[in-house]
Structure 1
Amino acid sequence: MSLINTQEQQLLTDAIQRVENNTDAELVTVLARQADDYRYIPLLWASLIGLLVPGAINYYPEWLSPHQLILSQWVLFIGLALLFQIPALQYRLIPRQVRYWRASNLARRQFLEQNLHHTNGETGILIFVSEAERYVEILVDRGISSRIPDSYWESIVKQFTEQVRRGDVAKGFVECIEACGVELQRQIPATSKKNELPNHLVIL
């Protein structure tokens, strides 16, 4: 996983500053390596297979004695639990809905933890990325949602998500910030010079 380097982080900070010079909105960017460690998913799959496969074989009593059945279940469970810890295999076992749900929950927690709900005029906007899940979300406070419909952000999120999938996270961030800035400057123009929240990228 290739997180953003120091030089790229500065590009993001500069992009946020340029946008905030022309709008009352407060932008915060957050990049998470992954939304969850999903340790329970490999264990769940290993448990199910460990129970079902030897259990199915048990329909043929001449194949396994009761002692051999229990032993085979434990061996299969432990072996699969270790095997499924390999990241490439682990992520194949996690349903997309579960990955997106965990990432979405983390985005909402970050909106609160970064104090985006405490800005003057309720004009906080969070650009959130969870790299492992290839997940992008833009969350805005009421002062923005009352002027800009949620549908406006959909195309921006879609384009950014494709860039994250290609590994162009830094470029995607900058272009996303600039795209958000176009409408923010039009609908929520700057009325005073302020900077309530940090402009640097938050990395989790």
Structure 2
Amino acid sequence: SFFTVEEREAVIAAVRAAESETSGEIVVSIATASHGYPQAATVGGFLLGLPLALLAMPWLGSFLWLGQGNVWIFLICLTFFYLPLRFLVAKTPALKRLFLFTEQVEEEVGEAALASFYSHQLDATRERNGVLLFISVFERRVFILADKGVNERIETTCWRGMVDSLTAAIRHGDHGPAVCRTVTDIGAVLRQHFPPRPDDQNELSDLMVAPDYAAPVSA
């Protein structure tokens, strides 16, 4: 799983600690993947099957007395290798990542982050000061999205360093502690522009984790 039980509790504690010093709301959302990427399996199956088919074609053509360069033998070999290799790529995340297109990944994760932002109601806080920390595990991508009230006071470029640092940490297997650090950094930025109010309430869930890893937790 992306978080251990201890890391999960530490992230929730980090969110609550950050929110205790600001009227802003922080939600951490973990998605297993932002898209199925079926074309990655198709491309992977073809590219992995192609050299195997080229190697098998002369042998099978000679064996069947049809010639070493017979195109029909090649197509049969390619189909024979393509189908199981496509299945293998589809079921193996490490292989599947090799055949992803960067532009599509950025688009799909961005759309998933935006959908998460609205589904978790970050646009419904009293001061419009919600911030979403969205992590898509399969793609190893991070997005930070802020509501209108935050964007009016804080440049969106403010989050870039946090996104880059967390993305690098996740690629190196540093999940829980890195997420906690990022939450603390987000809280520090919000604190400068949205000090806590006497009547503050926790309006949103602190951590939303995809069902593959754990059930959502509400504060």
TM range (shorter): 0.7 to 0.9
Q: Which moved more, 1:81-90 or 1:164-173?
A: 81-90
Residue deviations 1:164-192 (CA, integer Å, cap 9, x gap)? 11111111111011111112111111123
Distance (whole Å) between structure 2 residues aligned to residue 183 and residue 82 of structure 1: 45
Residue deviations 1:79-138 (CA, integer Å, cap 9, x gap)? 432342333221111123322322221111100110111111211110011122121111
Q: Bigger relative contact order, structure 1 or 2, given CA contacts below 8 A and separation 6+?
A: 1
2:81 corresponds to which of 58, 68, 76 = 76
Mark the runs of 5 or more structure 2 residues left unpaired by the alignment: 58-65, 211-219
Distance (whole Å) between structure 2 residues aligned to residue 43 and residue 19 of structure 1: 44
- Alignment-derived partner of residue 196 in structure 2: 190
TM-score by length of 2: 0.79
Alignment map for 1:20-31 (pairs within 5 Å):
20-31=19-30
Kept after mapping to 1: 8 A contact 2:45/2:86: yes
TM-score by length of 1: 0.85
Distance apart, 1:50 and its partner CA: 6.6
Seq. identity, %: 24
- Alignment-derived partner of residue 10 in structure 2: 11
Distance (whole Å) between structure 1 residues aligned to residue 47 and residue 17 of structure 2: 53
Kept after mapping to 1: 8 A contact 2:142/2:167: yes
Distance (whole Å) between structure 2 residues aligned to residue 167 and residue 47 of structure 1: 31
Distance apart, 1:161 and its partner CA: 1.2
Mark the runs of 5 or more structure 1 residues left unpaired by the alignment: none
Question: How much is the aligned-residue C-alpha RMSD, in angstroms?
Answer: 2.6
Kept after mapping to 1: 8 A contact 2:10/2:180: yes
Kept after mapping to 1: 8 A contact 2:93/2:138: no
Distance apart, 1:69 and its partner CA: 4.6
Distance (whole Å) between structure 1 residues aligned to residue 84 and residue 7 of structure 2: 41
Please state whether the residue corresponding to 2:127 is helix, strand or coil.
Answer: coil
Distance (whole Å) between structure 1 residues aligned to residue 71 and residue 168 of structure 2: 52
Report the AA paired with residue 11 of structure 1.
Answer: A
1:101 paired to 2:107: yes
Distance (whole Å) between structure 2 residues aligned to residue 45 and residue 89 of structure 1: 8
Please state whether the residue corresponding to 1:93 is helix, strand or coil.
Answer: coil
Distance apart, 1:47 and its partner CA: 4.9
Distance apart, 1:66 and its partner CA: 6.2
Distance (whole Å) between structure 2 residues aligned to residue 69 and residue 186 of structure 1: 66
1:170 corresponds to which of 149, 153, 176 = 176
- Alignment-derived partner of residue 217 in structure 2: none
Distance verdict in 2 for CA 1:67–1:22, change over 3 Å? closer
